[in-house]
Amino acid sequence: MDESRQKAIEGAKVLEKHGRLDAAVELLSEAGVYDEAARILSAQRRFADAAQLLMRGVGVSIEQVPALNAEGKKLALMAAVCFARAGRNSEAVNLFVALKEHQRAAQVLEKAGDRVGAARVLASAKGRFAPSQLPQAIGAAAVTVEAAQRLEAQGKPELAIQAYVQLRRYAEAARLAKQQGTLGDAASFYAEAGMVFEAGATYVEAGDLEKAVENFVRVPRDDRRYRVAANEVSRLAAELGQLGLKMDHFLARFIAEGPLEGRDLESFYLLGKVYQQHDLIENAKEVLRKVVAKNPGYRDAATWLKTLEQQTHVASTQYERILKEEASYLAADSRAPPTLKKSSQPPALPDLPPLPNPREIQPTLAAPIPLVSTPARAASDGEASRPNEKMLSREVGEDVERIARELNPSAHQAQESTGNTLFSAGIKPTELPPVEQRPQALEPGTVLADRYRLEQQIGQGGMGVVFRATDLELTEEVALKIFKPFNEDEQALARFRQELQLSRQLLHPNIVRLFDLGVYRGSRFISMELLRGSDLKKLLVGPMEIKRGIPLLIQACAGLKAAHDRGIVHRDIKPENLFITRDEVLKVMDFGIAKRQLTKGVTVAGMVAGTPEYISPEQIDNFTAVTPASDLYSLGVVAYEMFTGHLPFQSSELVPLLMMHINNSPPPPRSFVATIPESLERLLLRLLAKKPDERFADAAALASALAQVLT
């Protein structure tokens, strides 16, 4: 990355943290970092300003856009999207057409109600078919399949293609276009037909690699050609030097399965290059480990892996350095002018759109989203608010039993008619309220932010509701987590901001992805990847087979290591926060009470955060000073439960349970299941050591030890 660009981005981040958004935009614009400047403007819903700024970066007229290089076209595409979201459809359509994004141009026109214009755009793909050639009949004859076939038989392929397009028989149009050697048209028609693998392959032939990737990543995971597509995506990612959330999510299963044949080795090797290029070192190490495991002598993979591990090994001394750096930053910040001083609360998210004026909120959402759990009583009642479901008072006194019950309320998963459970990060499905209790504005079919159409409510919890939704812009399903209004619950708002800030820093196959954020009529929402499967808790109906459990734990280690390497400690690892997809990919969820080292947490004095059955001894004693070793302890409790079918410490009362974590040794795992290997028993007991420095050095060391149990 260019040094001046990097300095501008770092400076803008500081300005963003202090809410000086216009200054951040100006700094980035002057440095020519238009994409980042536009991101800040778009997050404020200033889409027209973002589009104009991006066009300034493009620096040419719309007519000259097709001649731009890849970086220029990227800015132009972002501008087109911003114009569309600003409602400036003419500019959006012209830009999309100039970029040969005919499908997107048609979507803009269809949304505006101009279906005829949309049809003309699609039929005039890449200028092959003039809009004037789109009457509803050809040569005064009705356009039918038979007519199209006659045109084809008569040697009039272009007219036949036009007829097939009007009939929406895009596969036939693609076949003919490919025969004519117009590969770009053929690929576009394949995409229209939903034949995404064929579209990707044809775009490769046409030399349009970016569009090839766009189509390959849409190949379903259960398609027999999935691994072929994954190999192509890996190769193209290396050639383009690009990596994105959709690409990374698409490759998750491919990476989890590991290389199965020779060509896979090169794909994994190339992915290592891309991940390292994007500073995703944990991802790079993960794919290289799989290469070395399959073929230790493949190219320089083993040497390269060793170098990366030496560079990124996070020992206690390095964490001390992180602490010192953050401490010095805080100290320096305390000398800044009053308007720039850090508050005691987590830094605000400047790119979170502001809530509208309460008087402007529609009556249907004037009240908080109804929740299953009983809301906390107001302080005016003369009583303390009830503790959050993950926060419990240290001075519980007579309320121990009540708090313990609240910590573990019974939960019920929401299921689709197929019986498959869907989750999003952070909110656990519970019993849904009666239909009449739910706000009318959040019924299926509602479109949020002109982008997300709600399909089905799939979960509800203490902070809001979760919907399965369709992202109309990307035509993909996502999970939409909609939070109750936070003007009544500052603690919830702090956790919401915390989760956003931390989740946005993490890009890893074993961590739930966060995509977008916004506000809808007074309620904040975030979109994230939609997970199909079940959390680990639902799978713990007895001791789990070691051959299944250990690979899952190794994946959990990979996700935690990615967080730990960025100085982020989860602090609430438990089975409910480990989601297992249908493809046996484990995802770490819910960073709502996670923290950066030395930053002020979102708990309050006299409180302990976490879940008591899985909490580490040091969290009980001093929650704000936890390290990655605390997450390893909690994962040790999870592993103990997985393989024995029992928790290491159990009590019906809270205080005795916490004291067990501090003072008691757990029963030997083999006392529950005699077939547990001795090596696994030693590993579990080491994880549950009372002193953090007696556990494993880090999550990578734990993963290596787990892998050796299987050998």
Residue at a domain's end among 502, 532, 562: 532
Is 484 inside a domain boundary? yes
Q: Is the pLDDT of residue 643 over 90?
A: yes
pLDDT bin (cut points 50, 70, 90) of residue 182 is confident
pLDDT bin (cut points 50, 70, 90) of residue 621 is low
Q: Nearest 10 degrees: CA dihedral of 334, 338, 340, 345?
A: 70
Q: Please report, for residues 384, 523, 650, the alpha-carbon distance to residue 378 in angstroms, rounded to integers and kept in the order given.
A: 8, 20, 33
CB 402 within 8 A of CB 434: no
Is 684 inside a domain boundary? yes
Q: Is the pLDDT of residue 259 over 90?
A: yes
Q: Is the pLDDT of residue 127 over 80?
A: no
pLDDT bin (cut points 50, 70, 90) of residue 683 is very high
Residue at a domain's end among 532, 547, 581: 532
Of 144 and 3, more confident: 144
The DSSP code for 568 is E
Both 653 and 554 in a single domain?
yes
Predicted pLDDT at 115 = 63
Q: Is the pLDDT of residue 371 over 60?
A: no
Of 413 and 220, more confident: 220
- Burial label, 359 (beta-carbon count in 10 A; 0-12, 13-18, 19+): exposed
Question: d(Cα 49, Cα 79) in Å, to the nearest integer?
Answer: 10
Q: Is the pLDDT of residue 76 over 80?
A: yes
Residue 594: count other Cβ atoms within 10 Å of its Cβ. 25
Predicted pLDDT at 607 = 36
List beta partners, residue 527: 480, 516
pLDDT bin (cut points 50, 70, 90) of residue 281 is confident
Is 647 inside a domain boundary? yes
Arithmetic mean of pLDDT over the chain: 75
CB 457 within 8 A of CB 465: yes
Both 695 and 561 in a single domain?
yes
Does residue 177 sit in helix, strand or coil? helix
Predicted pLDDT at 625 = 59
Both 595 and 632 in a single domain?
yes
Q: Which of 565, 572, 631, 698 is catalytic?
A: 572
pLDDT bin (cut points 50, 70, 90) of residue 312 is low
CB 321 within 8 A of CB 289: no
Q: Is the pLDDT of residue 188 over 90?
A: no
Q: C-alpha angle 472/453/521, rounded to 5°?
A: 120
Both 506 and 460 in a single domain?
yes
Q: Please report, for residues 217, 342, 606, 620, 626, the alpha-carbon distance to residue 623 in angstroms, rounded to integers and kept in the order given.
A: 42, 21, 10, 6, 6
Q: Which two tokens stand for residue 429?
A: 């499905």
Question: d(Cα 197, Cα 229) in Å, to the nearest integer?
Answer: 7
Both 443 and 555 in a single domain?
no
Is 142 inside a domain boundary? no
Which helix (H) or strand (E) segment holds residue 230: the answer is helix 226-240
CB 631 within 8 A of CB 571: yes
Both 691 and 668 in a single domain?
yes
pLDDT bin (cut points 50, 70, 90) of residue 658 is confident
Predicted pLDDT at 142 = 57
516 is catalytic: no
For 77-91, 126-140, 187-201, 380-394, which range has the lowest pLDDT when averaged over its residues?
380-394
Residue 462: count other Cβ atoms within 10 Å of its Cβ. 20
For 18-22, 157-161, 171-175, 498-502, which range has the lowest pLDDT when averaged over its residues?
498-502
Report how far Cα 391 is from the mean position of its chain's Cα atoms.
26
Predicted pLDDT at 358 = 37
Question: d(Cα 147, Cα 81) in Å, to the nearest integer?
Answer: 38
Q: Is the pLDDT of residue 355 over 80?
A: no
Both 506 and 465 in a single domain?
yes
Is 513 inside a domain boundary? yes
- Residues 6 or more apart from 382 whose CB is under 8 A from it? none
Query: Residue type at 457?
Result: Q
Q: Is the pLDDT of residue 42 over 70?
A: yes
Q: Is the pLDDT of residue 373 over 60?
A: no
CB hemisphere CA count around 100 (13 angstroms): 17
Does residue 504 sit in helix, strand or coil? coil
The DSSP code for 401 is H
Strand 578-581 and strand 586-588: pairing? antiparallel
Both 424 and 490 in a single domain?
yes
Is 293 inside a domain boundary? no
List beta partners, residue 569: 595
The DSSP code for 696 is -
Both 455 and 480 in a single domain?
yes
- Average pLDDT, integer, range 656-676: 93
pLDDT bin (cut points 50, 70, 90) of residue 348 is very low
What residue spans of 427-522 are helical by DSSP H?
Answer: 490-503
Q: Is the pLDDT of residue 527 over 50?
A: yes
For the CA atoms of the chain, what is the radius of gyration?
27
Both 528 and 538 in a single domain?
no
Note if the pTM is more than 0.75: no
- Residues 6 or more apart from 97 whose CB is under 8 A from it? 105, 121
Both 582 and 665 in a single domain?
yes
For 117-126, 155-164, 335-344, which range has the lowest pLDDT when averaged over its residues?
335-344
Is 299 inside a domain boundary? no
Note every long-range contact of 290-299, with CB atoms under 8 Å and residues 24 or more positions apart, other chains counting: 290/255, 290/258, 290/259, 291/259, 291/265, 293/258, 294/258, 294/259, 294/264, 294/265, 295/259, 295/265, 298/265, 298/269, 299/269
- Average pLDDT, integer, range 671-695: 95
- Residues 6 or more apart from 508 whose CB is under 8 A from it? 280, 282, 283, 558, 559, 562
Q: Is the pLDDT of residue 520 over 90?
A: no
Residue at a domain's end among 501, 532, 563: 532
> Among residues of the chain, what percentage have pLDDT more than 90?
28
State how many domains the chain has: 2
Q: Please report, for residues 197, 198, 219, 235, 616, the alpha-carbon distance to residue 223 in angstroms, rounded to integers and kept in the order given.
A: 10, 13, 7, 19, 43
Both 516 and 654 in a single domain?
no
Q: Which two tokens stand for residue 174?
A: 């693609």
Which H, E and C letters describe 283-305, residue by residue?
A: HHHHHHHHHHHHCCCCCCHHHHH
Q: Is the pLDDT of residue 709 over 60?
A: yes
Is 384 inside a domain boundary? no
Of 328 and 90, more confident: 90
Helix 209-216 × helix 183-192 angle, to 10°:
20
Structural domain of residue 466, as residue ranges? 407-532
- Residues 6 or more apart from 467 whose CB is under 8 A from it? 442, 444, 454, 455, 456, 457, 458, 479, 480, 482
CATH of the domain at 669: 1.10.510.10
CATH of the domain at 460: 3.30.200.20
Q: Which two tokens stand for residue 485?
A: 């209004």
Choose among 398, 426, 447: nearest CA to 511.
426
